Amino acid sequence: MARILVIEDDPDTAGHITATLHAHGHDTIQVADGRRALEKLLCEPFDLVTLDRMLPGLDGLALVASLRERRVMIPVLMISALSDVDERIAGLRAGGDDYLVKPFVPDEMAMRVEVLLRRRQGAADTVLQSGGVALDLVRREVTVDGAPVRLLHMEFRLLELFLRHPGDTLSRRIIFEQVWGYHFDPGPNLINVHIARLRKKLDRPERPSVITTIKGEGYRFDAA
C-alpha cells in the first residue's frame, strides 16, 4: 500500500482518482488547493503525488517546481486536460515524472502509478523472471529455458518492462513512454518491429507466443 496525495480541485475528478487508487490497494488524501498541498508535502510523508495542472492558490507547475527546488523528490504524476505536446514538455521540465491527459482510462492511471512507485523503490530484484524467460539486470543477460538469447538495447528494455508487469496489458503509450521516453505515439512501425523481433528471439515452437497482442488495448506478456 502506498500513501498518495491527490491534488485536484474538481470534486468529480478527485473522487474518480481516489476510487481507482483505493481499488488498487492504496491510501489517499485529497487536497484541492495548491498552497495547502505544498504545505502538506513539506510536512508529511507521501509515496506519490497525482497533480492537476490548474489549481487555485498555486498552479501545478509552480508546485512541482517548488518541490524540486527544496529537493523533495517524491514521484509526481501530472494529470491535466492540457494535452498539447508543449504543455506536456512544460510539466516534465518543471519536475513532473509522468504526464497523463484527461479524460483518462482508470487502469492506465493505476499502471502509471505502479511504474512510478516501482521506480522509486529501486527495483531491488536484479533478476526478473516469468516462466522460462529470465533477465539479469546486472549482467545484462537474457535466457530462455536456460539458453542464452542476445537482445539489442531497446529489446532488452522492452523485455524488462514486460517482466516487471507479467500478465498485465500494457498500452502502446505506456510502452513508448517507459521504453523510448516518448510522450506521444510516433506511429505503428517502431513498436511493431521491436515486438516482432522480441517474439522471434523468445518464442519456442512448442508453446504459444510469450507476447500477446490485445486488439485496441496493447500487449500482454505471459511466459508461464
Residue in 13, 80, 17, 7 with CA at minimum distance from that of residue 40: 7
pLDDT recorded at residue 121 = 66
Query: How far is residue 63's CA from residue 97's CA, in Å, rounded to a whole number?
Result: 13
Mean pLDDT value of segment 204-222: 90
CB 168 within 8 A of CB 129: no
On the question of pLDDT at 85 being above 80, the answer is yes
| Distance (Å) of CA 77 to CA 64, 67, 68, 113, 129 | 10, 13, 14, 7, 28
Q: What are the tens digits of pLDDT across the range 14-56?
A: 999 999 999 999 999 999 999 999 999 988 889 999 999 999 9
In the chain, domain spans = 3-121, 127-221
Grid cell, residue 196, equals 516482432
- For residues 12 and 44, the model is more confident at 12
Query: Which pTM does this prediction carry?
Result: 0.60
Lowest mean pLDDT among 55-59, 163-167, 169-173, 179-183: 179-183
Assigned CATH for 127-221: 1.10.10.10
Assigned CATH for 3-121: 3.40.50.2300
Percentage of residues of the chain with pLDDT beyond 70: 94
On the question of pLDDT at 123 being above 50, the answer is no
pLDDT recorded at residue 65 = 93
Q: How many CB atoms lie within 10 A of CB 142?
A: 23
pLDDT recorded at residue 196 = 94
Grid cell, residue 192, equals 511493431
Mean pLDDT value of segment 77-106: 89
pLDDT recorded at residue 77 = 96
Mean pLDDT value of segment 102-130: 81
On the question of pLDDT at 1 being above 90, the answer is no
